[in-house]
Chains A and B, each alone.
Chain A
Amino acid sequence: MSPRYKVTMPRMGTASLALKTFLTELGFDVVLPPPITRETLALGGRYTPEFACLPLKVNLGNYLQTLPQAPDAIFMAGGIGPCRFGLYGEVQREILKSLGYDIPLIVFEPPKKHAFELIDCFTRFLGHRFWLNLPGAARITWEKFTAIDRVDKAVLARSALLDQENRKTLWKQRKAFLQRLDGLMDLGGIRRLVKETEEGILMLSPEAERPSLRVMLVGEIYVVLEPGINFDLEKNLAMLGVEVHRTIYFSEWIWQQLFLNFLRIDWQRQLRQEARPYLRRFVGGHGLETVAHTVQAAREGYDGVVQLAPLGCMPEVVAMSIIQRVSREQKIPVLSILLDEHSAGTGVQTRLEAFVDLLQNKRIKAAI
């Protein structure tokens, strides 16, 4: 049997768990970077240009934390839109080279344009074993993605109905679920765990029938999904008693990017229509989605919208100025939070608390 190659990859919220499983099942030994902290940011920030996007800096910090374990290659995702994300792989490769690391950095490009390159790269490392392992690896990875997102949706929906004590228990259950999921490598086990977790969530009896406030969470995918960067915003907002409706789930994103785009199915039609009065073209990243979901939030009677973006993110900056107009015209409060390596958790928390106060007072006023 040929030796197993050791590989590493950047972190991205809970999606890292499933992506790690994918590479492991294909036949790699995966070194996952430690959870993202200020230390990761400081490390990445030291070797990147000041004006580079935040996720690029964090990715680099991730690599620098795992490189001492001498991996054989780094896997990284790529893109082909107007967003600078498509360039990360190249820039990171150059930075690592200038730091003296001679290591292959393999970029996953969307299969719509680059399917053969991807296959080529896997067979280079794994030989034809890759073809044997692929179906099983894809199956279990997909199961993990959907398991995580299913539990997250259940947690977010339940959280707003509970009292503070039960709410804490709920978020502990989520943490325990993720820890157990990490060790599971069979479909049956994952399904049982999801069922068990969902039952546990329903055991927590609600205090209220309806959530007092509903907020839609929109923005750039990386900062929305990575709690180490957004100061655990989703949980903190939920802890203030708000029902958070996150608009980005990794399983859905994968489904759109890998399958729907590949099959040329137009899944964005409805979003484009929603955004149309304000924005008529694709601006890269999740810019169009941010605008569309803000309009949708107003139409569906949400209390407010929170937008998360890395400072200087082009698509989200475009969206930000547009949703200000949506906010004025559709009468829906919007809070935009820009994050970079200089952001402070207390500042973010202060704004969140003030925003929730604003929404609450608006509700009370409307009720009178």
Chain B
Amino acid sequence: MRDLYLGIDVGSVSTNLVVVDGESRVTEQVYLRTNGRPIPTVQKGLAMIKKALGPHRIGGVGTTGSARHLIGLMVGADLVKNEITTHAVAALHYRPDVRTIIEIGGQDSKLILVKDGIVVDFAMNTVCAAGTGSFLDQQAARLNLSIEEFSALALAAENPVAIAGRCAVFAESDMIHKQQMGHSLSDIAGGLCEALVRNYLNNVAKGKELAAPVIFQGGVAANQGIRRAFQRVLGTEIIVPEYFGVMGAFGAALLVRQMMMASGKPSRFAGWRLCEEDLTTIGRTCQDCSNHCELVELRRGGKFVAFMGDRCGKWSSLSPEAEEAQRVV
């Protein structure tokens, strides 16, 4: 039985797990909604993978996304990597000649520029989420459409209307205005996609040169309307990779595979029993100094595993696992 490598990406909206084999081929992928509960969601994802593949031996685990530290501690990750790097690694694996990577997820959007196979610049949205998936979700829900229906409608738009995309709230009032004027739902959906793309180009790309080939990934890449809007604005083909929704997890799996194969060490993976274990977190504020760090305590079966979130290291050094977890970044 050959070793498999697991990548876990826990983001604000979705939690993705990808398993690759020794030849970097994807053998299993899972896309779940995080629903604000990262730990049970990862447990559910692990259970799904275990069911699909059987209790395979795991040669390495990498975590990424905004909950990468917490989940890294929970599963015993060999590698904890930021999502910008993992997204770039996955896109480069798919298209080694890629120059521009557009990634739009639930609450953040990124731009990664690549030259000669290495990342040369990157940017993330800073103050505004108007150009992200959550906003599309919300607007689709307001129109009583599923996000898939919304996507199809946007693609069918013949005359997308102009919508102010600077701010999500103003965009919404603008959409309502257009709808009361009698424009078709399809043209409004198409207009919204164009507004979102404009917002992305203004707030994230900020005039940077987006050279072809352009890869578009992240959950929003499923949306045909957005794809077409990007294509129109950039005047080039937009490539959407096969595993566009789970590229962060894919990148983490690829990185940990490379790392573990080079080191030859056994994985620190906590094992498949994780799916059934009782894992909880308890938050509290440390009052020992004026920093008032927000501590999170991870418990397994009611027993203390580790502390995280302190600036001084007093709490996190209480457990060797947390110390180790800091080292694998």
Contacts and interface: CB of A to CB of B under 8 A. Distances in A.
A37 B66 CA distance: 22
Interface string A28-65: 00000011010100000000000000000000000000
B36 interface: no
B14 to A, nearest CB: 17
Given A39-B292, A232-B311, A357-B85, A240 B329 contact: yes
Given A346-B66, A354-B122, A365-B116, A35 B290 contact: yes
B313 A354 contact: no
A362 B84 contact: no
A351 B124 contact: yes
Contacts of B313: 168
Contacts of A358: 118-122
Name which of B83, B117, B291, B327 has the most chain A CB atoms within 10 A of its CB: B291
Nearest to B207: A324
Nearest to A235: B311
Contact of A37 (B82, B85, B290, B327): B290
Contacts of A353: 81-82, 84-85, 329
A342 B290 contact: no
Nearest to A334: B121
B85 A342 contact: no
B127 interface: yes
Interface string A187-215: 00000000000000000000000000000
A361 to B, nearest CB: 5
Contacts of A232: 311
Interface string B118-146: 11111010110000000000000000000
Q: Which applies to chain B's interface (DSSP): helix, strand, loop or mixed? A: loop
Contacts of B120: 333, 358, 362
B15 to A, nearest CB: 17
Interface string A10-40: 0000000000000000000000001101010
Interface residues of A, number: 24
**Chain B interface size, under 10 / 10 to 19 / 20 to 34 / 35 or more:** 20 to 34
Contacts of B127: 311, 342
Interface in A274-306: none
Interface string A336-356: 001000100011001101110
Nearest to B67: A346
Nearest to B80: A353
Given A35-B290, A37-B290, A354 B311 contact: no
A37 B116 CA distance: 42
A247 interface: no
A168 B314 CA distance: 12
Given A353-B82, A354-B84, A362 B292 contact: no
B329 A338 contact: no
A350 B291 contact: no
A330 interface: no
B116 A354 contact: no
A361 B112 CA distance: 14
Given A34-B290, A37-B292, A362 B85 contact: no
A338 B119 contact: no
A357 B290 contact: no
Contacts of B85: 353-354, 357
B84 A350 contact: yes
Interface in B273-313: 289-292, 311, 313
Contacts of A123: none
B40 to A, nearest CB: 21
Contact of A357 (B119, B124, B289, B292): B119
A268 interface: no
Contacts of B81: 353, 357
Contacts of B290: 34-35, 37
- From A342, A351, A354, A362, residue with most partner B Cβ within 10 Å: A354
Nearest to B121: A333
A338 B122 CA distance: 15
A351 B118 CA distance: 16
Nearest to A35: B290
Contact of B82 (A164, A311, A338, A357): A357
Contacts of A346: 66
A235 to B, nearest CB: 9
Nearest to A311: B127
A361 B88 CA distance: 12
B138 to A, nearest CB: 20
B118 A362 contact: yes
Interface in B96-130: 116-122, 124, 126-127
A16 to B, nearest CB: 13
Given A168-B313, A353-B85, A365 B329 contact: no
Interface string B222-242: 000000000000000000000
Nearest to A354: B84
A366 B234 CA distance: 31
Contacts of A34: 290
Given A34-B290, A353-B82, 4 more contacts: A35-B291, A350-B84, A353-B84, A358-B120
Pairs of residues from A and B, 6 with the lowest C-beta to C-beta distance, nearest first: A354-B84, A353-B82, A34-B290, A357-B85, A361-B118, A358-B119
Interface of B: 66, 81-85, 116-122, 124, 126-127, 289-292, 311, 313, 327, 329
13 contacts: A34-B290, A35-B289, A37-B290, A168-B313, A240-B329, A346-B66, A347-B126, A350-B82, A354-B119, A354-B122, A361-B118, A361-B119, A365-B117
